Amino acid sequence: MEYRQISDNYSVSGQILPEDIAVVKAAGFRSVICNRPDDEQPGQPSADSVKQAAEAAGLEFRYIPVISGQITEQNVADQAAALDDLDGPVFAYCRSGARCTNLYALIQEMGE
């Protein structure tokens, strides 16, 4: 599993599996955000399955689904609130990591 560090407190990756949570935790992350809607692609793991693995490992989890190419102001506000509330460092994922990265950039632009 590969991920990209965007800031000291925020990293992103493409889709992860529930069994990847052990690697996420071992890397020092304390929270996980899923920005990928369920059923976007056949066979992808549900956010709930990743949430269960994350919580079992002692990590916080948030589900903030963002439709590809359609980031809304509410998505940005929800992501900003999650980043304010969650213990960091935060690990966010979607299909490729692009939505997570774009959300973070929009939050920075808005000064959230």
* Domain boundaries along the sequence of the chain: 4-110
Element holding 85 (H helix, E strand): helix 73-85
Give domain 4-110's CATH superfamily: Protein tyrosine phosphatase superfamily (3.90.190.10)
Give the pLDDT of residue 101.
97
Which tens digit of pLDDT belongs to each residue from 14-64? 999 999 999 999 999 999 999 999 999 999 999 999 999 999 999 999 999
Q: Are 12 and 66 in contact (CB under 8 A)?
A: no
Give the pLDDT of residue 1.
83
Give the pLDDT of residue 98.
95
Which tens digit of pLDDT belongs to each residue from 78-88? 999 999 999 99
Give the pLDDT of residue 110.
83
Interatomic CA distance for residues 108 and 75, integer angstroms: 14
Measured torsion, CA atoms of residues 80, 82, 85, 88, in degrees rounded to the nearest 10: -100
pLDDT at 65 over 80: yes
pLDDT at 111 over 90: no
Amino acid identity, residue 57? A
DSSP 51-77: HHHHHHTT-EEEE----TT---HHHHH
Largest Cα–Cα distance in the chain? Answer: 37
pLDDT at 106 over 60: yes
